[in-house]
Structure 1
């Protein structure tokens, strides 16, 4: 059992990077990975704010990537049975959805990072720790053009956006 969220964060960020690959070479891949990991980290810390939440997740499991694959159309021709795809069982659909929201909506990202920085058992991180999520530069944006494209991420972001808005106490949650 994992008391931390690192398996879920790693698997969910990996899924996002495979579903919305970087544009460019090795530098673009690294920048895209960092942005996905920062968004997933914030989303996971919001979703599972206490050590008890993380421990329960470790016991019950996050659910896997099957529905995300179906929503994005990625399940059509890929045989996902086997050991090389075991990481996919650690993908958390809600965390992926919330991360997609954060990657495509700068205001939600700011609210989420502020909430994470305000406390919780995972970190007292400052917004500077999530710079590539909050204030991506032109190189970051080019590298993660697909990962940050609102229309492309809409099916994933829409799955659990209302829950994220409610978690953040956003006025948008009342409208949605």
Structure 2
């Protein structure tokens, strides 16, 4: 059995970047993709926290993008050649959308990964997700727009909040 989430991460990242494309040229596309991949990686690691969880999704498959396509109005792939769409995970996509739209939630999510099985070994780097600079923000203007992401983010936001440590910020 494999514990590799790379097919889910790659397909879900591709779905996000096609649904909320970069504004600009090749560099903007690359910056947008990195931000999406970091958010998707955090979301996938939270959704599938153990090697067994990851192996099971590898066997059963994540479910595909059909509902997400309907929510965003993307519709089906016209030529049916996009087999990668079967590897899109709806929950991971929704959670990634939450993280991209809400920096505080992204920070809590990365904190929740500490000590998990996915973060053993080399430390993971999520700077473009947690602290995007001006270039990152311009490139991913659509990808990080809370109003545009809301229909996708709301699908499974409550399940993500259940996985995150409590927010201890004081409100006045």
Contact 2:64 2:85 in 1 (8 A): yes
Q: Structure 1's 36 and 81: CA in aligned 2 closer, same or farther, altered over 3 A?
A: same
TM-score (norm 1): 0.90
Give, in angstroms, the shift of residue 8 of structure 1. 0.2
Alignment match, 1:28: 28
Look up the SS of the partner of 1:153 in the other structure.
Answer: helix
Residues 1:136 and 2:136 aligned together: no
Q: Deviations over 1:49-100 (max 9, x none)?
A: 0000001101111000000000001106x41523xx0100000000000000
Q: Which runs of 5+ in 1 are unaligned?
A: none
Can you list the C-alpha shifts for 1:94-138, whole angstroms capped at 9, x where unaligned?
00000000000010000001111x1111114657x1000000001
More helix by share: 1
**Superposition RMSD on alpha carbons, in Å?**
1.6
Partner of 2:111: 114
| Equivalent runs, 1:17-56 vs 2, <5 Å | 17-56=17-56
Q: 1:140: Cα distance to partner?
A: 0.2
1:81 alignment partner in structure 2: 80
Q: TM-score, normalised by structure 2?
A: 0.92
**Contact 2:9–2:41 at 8 Å: present in 1 too?**
yes
Give 1:147 deviation, angstroms: 0.1
Q: Size of the alignment, in residue pairs?
A: 167
State the distance in 1 between where 2:153 and 2:166 align: 16
Which residue number corresponds to residue 104 of structure 1? 101
Name the CA distance, whole Å, in 2 between partners of 1:15 and 1:123: 25
C-alpha distance in 2 between matches for 1:99 and 1:126: 20
List, as ranges, runs of 4+ consecutive aligned residues in structure 1 with deviation greater than 2 Å: 124-127, 169-172
> Which residue number corresponds to residue 57 of structure 1?
57
- Asked whether the 8 Å contact 2:108–2:165 carries over to 1, the reply is no
